[in-house]
Structure formats: structure tokens, C-alpha cells
Structure 1
Amino acid sequence: MSSSPGLLSPTASSTLPRRRNGKPPSCEPCRRAKVSCDHTLPVCERCRRRKVVAKCVYLTAPMTRPVPDGRGRRLVLTPTMTAGSGEGGLDRAVVKGSERERESGSLSVREKERLSIDVSAAPRDLSHSTTGGLSVDAVSKPTPESGPFIKSGGFFGPTNFSAVFMENRENLGNDEIQISVDSDLHVPSYESLQSQTFLMLAGKQHCGSPRVALGIKVLNAMPDEHTCKFLLEWYFEKCHESSCPKHSVLALANSFWNSSFAGSFRKEPRVTDDLEHVSTLLCKNAESALQEFEDFDDWLASCSGQNFRWESLGSVYGALTTSILSLPERDAFFATQRGERRNRRDFAVEMKDCVQACITLSNYMDLINVPMVALLTKNFVLQTVLSGDASLVVWRQLGDLVSSSTALGLHRQIDTGRPPSYISETKKRLFTSIFCFDKGSALLTGRPPALSYRYTRFELPLDLSEEVLIQGGEVLQEAVAKLDENGWNQEGQIYSTTATRAHGMFSQVLNEVLELSLGDKDICTAENINYLMGRIQTIYNSLPSFYAFKLSDLGSPNCTDRMFWRRLCLRLIMLEHRLLLERLAHKEGFLSGQSMVDCAREMLELTVLLWVQRDRFTEHHHDYDWMLMCWGVPSSGVLIVELLKQVKAPHSTKLVLPRSEIVQNLSLLIGFLEWIKPAAGNYQLCGRMKLIIKKILDQILNPGPTPPLSSQGVTASSAMPSSQESRNASVNGMGGVRGFQNAGMGVGVDGSTVGFDNGSVGGGFEQQQQQQVGFDNSGIDDGFDWLNNVDWSRGPWFDLGQDFSAARWS
């Protein structure tokens, strides 16, 4: 049945109901103009700036046309309704608005404004009626029959980061308490240039080619030369790049500012006719295929200067976006910018939009080349930072990236017998990164990977520096000759390619691990699990000695912060893969679970270390929310489940759990989760996990006379062993992970101690904050049953609908 659009009503938390894809709706002016809407109520900022407040309305189904007989009329709500009006009041308001429109035929702009929704007075329980309007219908709470976990959109399989809670829900309580998710924290989605259809539409102010018109907008967004120089220098010195050599990006940027058209960008204000000339040139260059050259200088000449292309410009915008995100949020640099660029996220979103637009402009002739695939890779990584790692737009972009890489043939790198060159090593590095991203996304979401190692023939890139690749010729051949027999450098340097090689080796094993976890259950045997565990450990042990992680290197003058960071991240990735196998073996009954607990303990300790030493890694702060998803949540989940088992049935478990050490690290993890900024893609996930872990710690440290604990004879003293007991438990409980010697401290894999600050973490948790994240406090003192009703598989974990890593790795 066709229905007519009605005005949307915000919920009691002053947020708009989301669309079926999980994103908030745009107002009518922004939707029709195909521009970004910030979804502000009652009037968005864009409409306020354009002085069209009267037209800023939100409709339920804006694309739905009314039926010819006039039965489907637009329903509006009067501002006189209050939350206490009741069902009858709302029905009268809907009927009144419908009758007024029927009498007048249509509503004027002023009438629409007068009949618009009062945010503070809008009732909570509104749902869409079959006629397209809004009617009151009490939101049905989930019942025990519907399952303990509230279902949500999107599929997340058995390897996703919250799966440990799903697998152990029978140990977390019963289904009596259902937790509402209607009042989740609202995080703006920052919808911008994601819909690639409207990008080709020209503005009314330009009567020429729509591609040229879009190009003018992209070119006009280029920061001034001084700003570009500062950001690119920061990018070169501080940022990690996996999609393409940073030297090539800097060379393209220098070519842009030294070209014949650079003068058009030094004028203030910039002249539209000059930008149109440059846009026309780039559009013309994009219509011809890009020839591949083995030598870097020849390659650079083919896509720079008068041959500058949209792919080249997109790589520059990608570098600027990365640099902006890696700067501290309150860096003095942003005070030098104008308008919305004074806000780090707004500036980054604008530059990211330009990357997306360059991709669209490059796709005009249906051509594919290496710079284009590199740009898709960069766009994918930036999207994960802004939207979150498990958002739908990220998953779709990953599919586009994989399809483009296979269309270019990067998955079939056959040895031709030619010596290594710039283009051959760039292809190896690029596809290895894509392969890693694909496996990381599959692991994080529990969905099948798009690439399989069985259907690819790719070689790992040689461990060479970017400077050597750029020089080429004899310099490159000499550097290749100095590599060891396995392709590693022997100078003890950790280059970007060094990290790519190591991650590629682990991803090949992860491909087989995912086959066990997501594939046929018959192949999930103890022999296969032990074989893959051995392979993971063998790969880690076979890495060069300069890549081995040692906690004692922290602060050592012989180990820079960048080297320590990369060693630490690789160690965590190895533990992440091992923990997945440990959980699988424990679930199938192949192992007792002690080695799983020890692996999770080390993983949690090292994750917390990232936050404790955060001042050393400022440029990586925008990755911290992703690291919590990949490493913090799975490791803490394993330990929380085992702690709950021990508290509820202390005599039934034989696992040795150093409770003091675990509680201290979980307390630090609470501080880590609370430290994540609201602009982060996974901010809502962190807020929910923060409350969950704090509630569990409260129950463990302050058990009280709760029935489940008293019935089993667990007292406060038995729930919290003495420090001596904890130390003995820690020493006697070493399993698959070495070096945990003290229960009260964080101990590294080499036996050295981390100086953790065990002060108060987590801060205050207000009742309002708990309701925003979706917790119902009723029955919380009855044990841990409330944990069984948390929707571990829905956003804010996965509705990471903002604009800008499972795929991202350091």
C-alpha cells in the first residue's frame, strides 16, 4: 500500500527515529539538495545558515507518493502536544493536521513551520502507521521467548569481538531482565559524500559539465599552501601508511603546487573560472588509461604536472585527512583555521569527502589502475576511522576495494623473472594490505572473507625502505642483495614494508583460522587447532630479532617510540589470533581453558599499556577505539566470564585466576574506555563496555548478601583472596603465555614489570548516563543475570555511523 510522508517525531531523548538502514534522516532541504545534514533539532545548522528555517522539516517517507484517490495525506503534529497529552491527544493532533491539509489542499511554508514538532514536548512512544503518519503504539519490550539478546540489523558471526559473551550467556544469568536499547546515545552519522549517485549532479549556478562542476568544488576545498605544507610534513614524520609509499604522495603534492595551474590556488579568493580550467584538465586526463612504468620517475611523470589526475589529487587529500586525524584534538594548528575547519573532525570529514569525490570522478571512464586501487584502500581506512569498523558503509567499501584489486589482477602476481622495481613492489605491498584488511574485517564481524588464500598467488613485499624504491636502478638492486634469505633487512630497521610483511604472514594463517571458525564444523578438530597454533607461534618466532617485543624496551634509548609501538601491536595481533583458537578449542572441549585465560591476561595487560603510555603515541590516538574493539573487548570478555563462573561457583572451576591482577587491569580498562572521545567511530561501544565492566567489578568487589552468592557459600573474603593468595595463584597458573609472575602488577612477556597507576579510574557513572547507554537498573542486585540481556551484537557496537580501523592495523 502506498503511503504519504509524515513529519518525524523525535524520541524523548531529543533524537530522531532512525531509518531502516540505521542512519538518522535528513531534513527536506538537505535531502533535496543532496548535501550533508547534521540532523540537528529542531532546525539543522545548514538550513539555519541558509536562512531557510521554515523549510527545515523531517518527513517519515519523503520519497513516497500519495495514492491518486487522496487517501494518503501528509500527517503533521501540532506543537501543542506534550509528553503528557496521552494517546488521545496525539490522535486528535494527527486528525486535526490531516483535516487542515485536506481542506486547504496543501500546507504553506509558514503553516508547516507552525505545525512542526516541538522537540522537548514530543512523546516517546511513536511508531509509523500504515498510512505513512505517526501514531502512538507502545514500544513492545522484548520477551524471554524472543531470546536473551535483543536482535539488531546486520549479521555478526561466531568470531566477532563480542562473541565470547554470546557463547557463555548461560553462565551470565537467565532471561528475566530485558535491557532497553531505545535510549542509546545519539552520535551524529555525519552523512556526507557517501552516496555516489548525487556526486555527478551539477549545481544550478554552473551550466557546464556536472563532472567539471563537481571538480570545481573539490579543487576549491584544497587548503592553502602553508597549511598543506604543515600537514604533509606531519604526515611524513608521524603517520603510518600502508596503501602506497609516502614519498610518492609527497612528490604528487609538490607537483601540484609547482604546476602551471598552482597560481589559481594561491589567490584569495579563488576565481571560479581558473578552477574550472583546472577541473577540465583533470577530467580530460582521467579519460585516458594510465600506463604502468617500472621506474618511479617515469611513473610520476605520467600522473603529475600537466598529466595530473583525480587519483593523484585524491591521494593528496587522503594524506591531509590522515594528518588531521593524527593531530591532537586541541592542537594549536586548528586555531589557525577558519570556520568549521577549526574543529578537527569537521576538517577531516571535509577532506575525506574530497577523497570520495575524487574516486567518483576517476570512475567516469570505467578505468582501473594501481593509484586508483591505492586510493580506494586509503578511502576505506579513513572510513573505518570515522564510521567505525563494523558499519555497513565500511563493509560495502571493502567489497568495492576487493573487486577492484582482483579486476586489476593484483591477486595473481606471477614471477616473471624480472628484477624488483618500484611498481612491482608497490603492487605487492598494496595487495598484501588489502588481504590483511579483508581478514581483519572478517574476524571482527564474523562474516566470510571476500578473498581466499587458496585462490590468490601473491608474494610478500621485500623489506626495503621507500627511499630505496624511489631511487631504483643499481641502488635498489644493491639493497635487494643485502636482504637475508627470507627477504628481511639486516639493518635492524622497521619500515612500513616491514610491518606489511609481518601482518601478511599472520593473515595467511588467519585465513585458515577463519575456515575453522566460520566453515565446516567437521574440520574443526584438535589436530587442526594445534597445527594452526603452532604455525602462529612459529611465524612469530621466525621474525627478525629486531621485531621481537620486549617490555623492558619501554623507555630504552635504543628503542624509539615508533619501534616499540610496532612491536607491541604485532604482539597483540599474534595474541588476538591465538585467543580465537584458544576459545575455539575451549568451546569444543579440547583444552581446559587455562592457556586461554593466560593469553587473555597478557592481551588485556598490553592493551591497557597502550593507554598508560598514551603520551608516547599521540599520533595513534585516533586508532585507540579500534584497538579496544579488537583487543580490549575480547580479552576482557574472556576474563569477565571466567570471573563470574568463579564467583557463582568457586568450587566448580579448576582454572587459576589471579583476581587481583585481573581486577586492576579491568579497572584501568574502564579508564581507557572512558577516555575515548565522542567523535570516535566506536564511541558508543566504549561507553557500553565501560558501564558493563564497572557493574561487574562492583559485584565482585562488593558482593553483598545477594541470593546467588550466599546460596553457594561465597563470602566477601573468599570472593577476594588475599594478596599472598593472588601472588601464589599467579605463579602457579602460568600456561601458554609466559612471564606473568606477580598478581598485583602488570608483568610483560619478558618478566619485566609495568608501573601501572592503580588509582581511581572510571570516574562517576550517573543514572542518566546509564539510561542513555540502555541499562535497566531494576534487578541489578540479583546477581549477573542482567548481562544475559545485553545486545552484544547491535550498535552502538556496530552502528558506527559516522563518516570516517577491523581492517586497520598499525
Structure 2
Amino acid sequence: MEPQPNAAPSSVPRRRNGRQQACEPCRKRKLACDHSLPSCQRCRRRNAEAGCVYLITGTASGSAARRSTISPRAVPPDRHAPPSARPSPTRSPSSSGIEGSREESPAPMSPPTSGCDSPGYLGPTSFSAVFAEAGDQFASPSAAQQQHPAYMANAQQWTPPSTGPRGRSELTVGAESTPAASTGICPEKMEDYIRVLRSIPPADIGELLYNRNYSPMDGWVRPAMMHIIASIWGAFGEHLACRTRKSLAAMAELICANSSKALDEEIHEPQDWLASFSGRNLRWESLGIAFVVYAFGAMEYTPAEYAAHTRQEGVDAVDPRQLMLIYKECAIKCGEFCKEYGANSLLLCLSYKNGALESMVSSDTSLRNAVMMSETTALCLYLGMHVDPAQDRADKKPSISYEARRRLFYGIMVLDKAAAIVTGRPPLLNSRYISTKLPLDLTNEELMGSRSGLIEAAARLDSNGWNLNPAITPVKYMRSRIDSVLVRDEILEIALGGPNVRPNHEQLVRLKERELRQTAQMPEVLVWKPENVYDQRISPMELFGKVMMRLEHLQNMFFIERLLGRTWPLQSSAHGSTAPTLPPSISAELLTVSVEIVTLTVTLWMHRDRVAGVQRDFQWLVGSPAPFSHGTPLLYHMPRPPAASFAWSCSDNPNTPRPRGGTTPPPPSRDPT
């Protein structure tokens, strides 16, 4: 018979050949064990007594009947199953593992050792770089061969050891051990899995939410999101149609098994790349991305619009805001589910989109958003995304995996700089440490065709990676925005620097010239003209891109002019004018930029019907706080002109918004508070 699970062994168990069993740490490392109790001397010297356990095998014949037991001190308290769910000694797990997951707790597992954790990306100053660079100079041949793959080949994905559906290392008891004894999922986690899977919307609603959600600032591959959503119902339609506990548990087991496998980051064919995380290969990361898409789509609807589109009225009506919050929490849960399996670019994409969604729900200044953003940037650096994916690869030709990672990284960087501007806190990513190339200006259709077609399309780009086709693409907008973000990164270094960082006039002048030069070289399709807002031939995404790129430029100029005012104050008038003098740090250029910022922001808000579908991406412009509202207080420092002069200036400036009645609005009055 087997010993009781909670009883520590009184003597060291023996193997079939009669020899004493080694403890698990010594056995895994193939080291000699002294077989002492309660822990061996080697584990005591390593201060790892909690992990020093001896596996006790049962005497029943057959590999399926074998069970493994460890000391209770090796099991974390939260992993103990309730007494009612403890396994019966005579009951064997079901072949599917579903029924057993409801009635049995998983076999106790030893805690993972530190050697199971991936070190992530290791750069040139890491501990492994010393061994890799020294090479054969070491006396020990084995030391000369120690080359960490993350440093030598820039490998960004760790291949985990054999894991079960719970993401923990499987215990192997002898050569005849079977994984069927440890495929069950603890009841608490299974309940979480089922709750998330029950929240998947019907296929038609999912497609509706996807089509409603469209943003030029998506930092990934949009067709991949649609493929994930469609593949969920294509592969698991039977499970989601009935939504019984048994069917959803089977679906959860398969997703857990897929998530426990390392994601292949070196797939270059688009269809193979999509198949690696969708359909029957669905992972928690990809399901979380689908929930984020659902949440963004629900955010775009008003209750009346959603009821009209879904034909749900009366008691069946659903508040899209509450629906968005449900999808948002499901996306966060999916991220938590897959963290224990290891990190990959898909998890980073989910973390990035969760952070973007959280910033819209609780604002950029909230603690929750700050924590999520810091976690995203930490994961980004952990995976080595700041280093170009093709830098140390033999195959440097364009591929879907390379471009997806480049888009993702710069999407995170743009979000990081936007948060730094809003909060006034230092950004978490610095351009000084970035070697990732800009994503190529390719359409999603060219990217998702075939690799040969992708290479041909890349060959038609100019030397800087720009598409000669004047049509607007998400990457064209992203590339132009990154140029402004890189300038803003240097602005933030000066503006947020410590007391030892003083604004330098020459440096700021060079930044200003660089910003003006980049704006002049911007693709024509992204150049803003006042008459664009009335041109119905311009698509909502193109119009939004034009306005946003102009605001990006004005924002940089706003901060540069403010810093220039600190280094080169304006002098008083030499003619003794009695007109109100401006504060020393406010120049005429700064006021001009401020007027255009406020005017353009109001223009976009007044014509928000022209950008239906992306309103969630510009609502923060007129919120509080908002980075573009910095120019408003400066308008109070302008000398107030006579009414006739103000009316003439409004008629001369086509950017100035006019009331529908045709009369000239009065100048803004100063708030007495």
C-alpha cells in the first residue's frame, strides 16, 4: 500500500534494485546524494531544504497505478486541495482528465527549482557574456563551451522543460511513468478557466465587435486578430455551442496544454505563423488578445447603438460599458494564466494591449495603469525586443515574425512616451538602448500573403523602408509617429532631468531643426490641411492620421519652445511700449503653437462624426488631464485685442472653429478661480 500523502517518510525509500533513492534535486542534477533525513547535506549547504524530497513509489503493478508522494513542507499552502477534493487511493484519473479535475486534486508536485526559470535576453554586459567572449582562454574545456543562447544567438524564447497543463514541471517516477496521472487541473483554476471561456461572445457578436474596433495605432498585425477570433469558433464551435462544464473543461485542458509549449518565434511563413497560436493550437495569450479586441469594440458603442446592432432590447439589453469591463477582466485573467508557462512575444502583445485599454478606463495617471505599463516594458526588455530580431540571425530577409515584433516594440514605445508626457514621469524606455529597426511600410495584405511575396514587396520600398504608394497604411502612420517620438525622448531627457541636467540652447535649437525637417519630409498622405475635414473622400483613418501627426509635431514644438524660453528669455521692448509684457519664458512662437493646438483639438472634436470608429483614440485629447491641454493656460497671457481685430483674425484663419449661427464667438474670459 502507499503511504499517507501528509506523512513524511521515516526512512529513505529504495529503488527496485535495492539501492536508496536520491532526493529529487540531486537526482535531477545527477549528483551523489548522502540519503540523510530530513534533508541531505548537499541541499542543506545550498539552503534548499524545502526542495529536498524523496519520491515514494507505490507497489501496485502497472505504470498507470503509480503515484508519487512528497513531504508536505514541499507543497505551497495554496496548492493543497480541499479535503473533499483529495484523490481516492483506488480511483484512477480519467483518460481525458476532465472528470478527474473536478473530483480529484492533482498529485502533489515539488516546487520548481531556480534552474527552471528562463534568464530571458542577456546582453553584452551579462554574466554569460564573459564566458562567451573568453571562449577557449579558460582552462576548463567545459567552461569554454558555456555560451548562453540568449546572448550568442539573441534567442528571445526559452524552451521550458516538460510541463503539465498547470504549467508546473511534471514529476517522473521511473521510466514507466505516464503523464495521465498528472494531467488534472486543480479545481480552483478550472473554475477560473471555465468562467473566462463562458464569457466568449457568440460568433456574430465577436465579428461585430471586431469590425467596430479599428485604430491606426494598433501596434501589431490586425488580420492576425481576426484570424484568432474566427479560429476560436472554427476549432471549438461544438464546445462553445453547448457550453457545458465538461465541454469547457476539455477546451481549457487543450488550451493549457498548448500554452505550456514554447511558442516558436522563428516561423517565417505567415500561414504557419498564424496556425502556431490559433485554431487547435489556441493559447491563453491569443485568447486574451481576442478579449481585448472585444473590449475595444464594446467601448465604441453607446447602449442604443449596441441594442440596435445586436437586436437586444428591453430586459435582454446589455450595457456595452459593462460588457467592456467583463472582457477587460477576462483579458487580464488570460495574461495571468499564461505567465507561469514562460514569456513570449504573444504574451507581450497581450500585456501591451491590456495596458492601452487600462489607460482608457482608469486614465494614464492611475496606479493600476502605471503598474501594467511598467510590467509591459519590463517584459519587453526581458524578451530583448529592444534588439532587432534579425540582428544575430543568419536569415535577415523580411518575415512576418520579424515585422510583428518590430511593430509591437514601437507600439509600446509610443505608448510609453505618451504616458510620460501626461504624467510628467520619466519614460521607461530610452532610445539610447534601442537597435530595433523600424517596421517596413508594408500593407497587411502584403505581410500576410507569403514570405516570397513579402520579400518582393519589401524590395519595392525605398532605401529608408517607405512605400512609394501614397495610400495610407497603419505602418506609414506608425513610422512617422516614431520619428516624432524619438525627438520627444530627447526632449524628456532635458525636461525631466535632475539638477545636473541643464537645458542647452544649442541642443534645443538642433532638436527644433530636426523636428521641422522631419515634418517637412513626412509623407504627403499624412500632411494636415484645414480643408481636409470637409473632404468626404478622405477616409476616417486617413483624416485621423493627419490630425494626430500634426498634433504630434505641435506637441514637440510646444515643449521645445518652453525649454528655449528657459535658456534664452525674451527681452523687454526697447520702444517703451505700454502693451502688456509677456512672461520671460513665453515667446510669440510658443503662443502660436498653443493656439494651433487648441484650435486643431476643438476642430477634431466638433467633427468627431468624421472619425467614427476611432473616437476612443482621441477622447483623451480633450480630457483632463491631457497633454494637448497644456496650451490653454498660455492663451490667457495673450494681449486681448479689440472685438473688430478678433473678428478679422478669425476670418483670416481657416483653422478657427466657427459657431453654426455664423457669428464670431467672443474671446475666452479668464476663470476667476
Normalized against structure 2, the TM-score is what? Answer: 0.65
Partner of 1:298: 272
Q: Give the alignment partner of residue 636 of structure 1, picking from 632, 639, 643.
A: 632
Task: Number of aligned residue pairs: give it.
Answer: 465
Distance in 2 between residues matched to 1:329 and 1:755, nearest whole Å: 31
Q: Give the alignment partner of residue 474 of structure 2, picking from 492, 496, 510.
A: 496
- Aligned amino acid, residue 291 of structure 1: D
- Which structure 2 segments of 5+ residues have no match? 1-166, 168-183, 571-585
Distance in 2 between residues matched to 1:315 and 1:341, nearest whole Å: 25
- Aligned amino acid, residue 726 of structure 1: F
Q: Give the alignment partner of residue 263 of structure 1, picking from 221, 231, 238.
A: 238
- Aligned amino acid, residue 323 of structure 1: G
Q: Give the alignment partner of residue 324 of structure 2, picking from 348, 351, 355.
A: 348
**The structure with more radius of gyration:** 2
Give how far 1:589 is off: 4.0
Distance in 2 between residues matched to 1:532 and 1:727, nearest whole Å: 36
Partner of 2:259: 286
Would you say 1:388 and 2:363 are equivalent positions? yes
CA separation of 1:523/1:490 partners in 2, compared to 1, >3 Å: closer, same or farther?
same
Structure 2 contact 303–318 (Cα < 8 Å) conserved: no
Structure 1 contact 612–756 (Cα < 8 Å) conserved: no
CA separation of 1:373/1:543 partners in 2, compared to 1, >3 Å: closer, same or farther?
same
Distance in 2 between residues matched to 1:590 and 1:329, nearest whole Å: 53
CA separation of 1:265/1:339 partners in 2, compared to 1, >3 Å: closer, same or farther?
farther
- Aligned amino acid, residue 281 of structure 2: N
Instruction: Show CA shifts across 1:234-272 (max 9, x none).
Output: 33xx4445232111111111211111x3212123xx211
Give how far 1:590 is off: 3.7
Distance in 1 between residues matched to 2:335 and 2:563, nearest whole Å: 41
Partner of 2:348: 373
Distance in 2 between residues matched to 1:240 and 1:341, nearest whole Å: 30
Would you say 1:609 and 2:603 are equivalent positions? yes
CA separation of 1:231/1:726 partners in 2, compared to 1, >3 Å: closer, same or farther?
closer
Q: Give the alignment partner of residue 517 of structure 1, picking from 472, 490, 495.
A: 495
CA separation of 1:404/1:286 partners in 2, compared to 1, >3 Å: closer, same or farther?
same
Distance in 2 between residues matched to 1:572 and 1:477, nearest whole Å: 34
Would you say 1:506 and 2:506 are equivalent positions? no
Partner of 1:594: 588
Partner of 1:737: none
Give how far 1:586 is off: 2.2
SS in 2 for 1:410: coil
Distance in 1 between residues matched to 2:657 and 2:204, nearest whole Å: 42
Partner of 1:11: none
Would you say 1:409 and 2:384 are equivalent positions? yes
Give how far 1:208 is off: 3.9
Would you say 1:550 and 2:523 are equivalent positions? no
Give how far 1:747 is off: 2.5
Partner of 1:721: 642
Q: Give the alignment partner of residue 243 of structure 1, picking from 189, 208, 219.
A: 219
Q: Pairwise mapping of residues 118-133 of structure 1 onto structure 2 (< 5 A)?
A: none
CA separation of 1:250/1:241 partners in 2, compared to 1, >3 Å: closer, same or farther?
farther
Would you say 1:620 and 2:614 are equivalent positions? yes
Partner of 1:578: 557
SS in 2 for 1:609: helix
SS in 2 for 1:595: helix
- Aligned amino acid, residue 374 of structure 1: C
Instruction: Show CA shifts across 1:98-135 (max 9, x none).
Output: xxxxxxxxxxxxxxxxxxxxxxxxxxxxxxxxxxxxxx
Structure 1 contact 340–346 (Cα < 8 Å) conserved: no
Partner of 1:454: 432
Instruction: Show CA shifts across 1:284-342 (max 9, x none).
Output: 22222111212221122221222211011111111111111123453023652797971
CA separation of 1:271/1:746 partners in 2, compared to 1, >3 Å: closer, same or farther?
farther
Partner of 1:463: 441
Would you say 1:221 and 2:199 are equivalent positions? yes
Kindly report the root-mean-square deviation, in angstroms, between the aligned alpha carbons of the 2 structures.
Answer: 2.7
Give how far 1:448 is off: 1.0
Partner of 2:35: none
Structure 1 contact 576–630 (Cα < 8 Å) conserved: no
CA separation of 1:722/1:356 partners in 2, compared to 1, >3 Å: closer, same or farther?
same
- Aligned amino acid, residue 258 of structure 1: G
Structure 2 contact 219–410 (Cα < 8 Å) conserved: no
Instruction: Show CA shifts across 1:161-211 (max 9, x none).
Output: xxxxxxxxxxxxxxxxxxxxxxxxxxxxxxxxxxxxxxx9xxxxx994322
Structure 2 contact 533–607 (Cα < 8 Å) conserved: no
SS in 2 for 1:480: helix
Partner of 1:145: none
Distance in 2 between residues matched to 1:442 and 1:549, nearest whole Å: 25
User: Displaced runs of 4+ in structure 1, greater than 6 A?
Assistant: 337-341, 758-762
- Which structure 1 segments of 5+ residues have no match? 1-199, 201-205, 644-656, 660-719, 729-741, 763-780, 788-810
Q: Pairwise mapping of residues 126-141 of structure 1 onto structure 2 (< 5 A)?
A: none
CA separation of 1:352/1:544 partners in 2, compared to 1, >3 Å: closer, same or farther?
same
- Aligned amino acid, residue 361 of structure 1: F
Distance in 2 between residues matched to 1:447 and 1:559, nearest whole Å: 37
CA separation of 1:271/1:445 partners in 2, compared to 1, >3 Å: closer, same or farther?
same
Partner of 1:316: 290
Distance in 1 between residues matched to 2:332 and 2:317, nearest whole Å: 18
CA separation of 1:546/1:422 partners in 2, compared to 1, >3 Å: closer, same or farther?
same
- Aligned amino acid, residue 743 of structure 1: C
Partner of 1:481: 459
CA separation of 1:418/1:614 partners in 2, compared to 1, >3 Å: closer, same or farther?
same
SS in 1 for 2:398: coil
Partner of 2:115: none
Q: Give the alignment partner of residue 505 of structure 2, picking from 516, 522, 526.
A: 526
Structure 1 contact 239–326 (Cα < 8 Å) conserved: no
Give how far 1:603 is off: 0.7
Partner of 1:747: 654
- Aligned amino acid, residue 321 of structure 1: A
Partner of 2:133: none
Distance in 1 between residues matched to 2:315 and 2:426, nearest whole Å: 43
Highest relative contact order (Cα 8 Å, sep 6+), 1 or 2?
Answer: 1
SS in 2 for 1:262: helix
Structure 1 contact 310–362 (Cα < 8 Å) conserved: yes
Instruction: Show CA shifts across 1:534-565 (max 9, x none).
Output: 11111111111222111122232542232111
Instruction: Show CA shifts across 1:596-625 (max 9, x none).
Output: 000001111100001111111222333343
CA separation of 1:253/1:610 partners in 2, compared to 1, >3 Å: closer, same or farther?
same
CA separation of 1:552/1:288 partners in 2, compared to 1, >3 Å: closer, same or farther?
same
Q: Give the alignment partner of residue 514 of structure 2, picking from 522, 535, 539.
A: 535
Partner of 2:189: 211
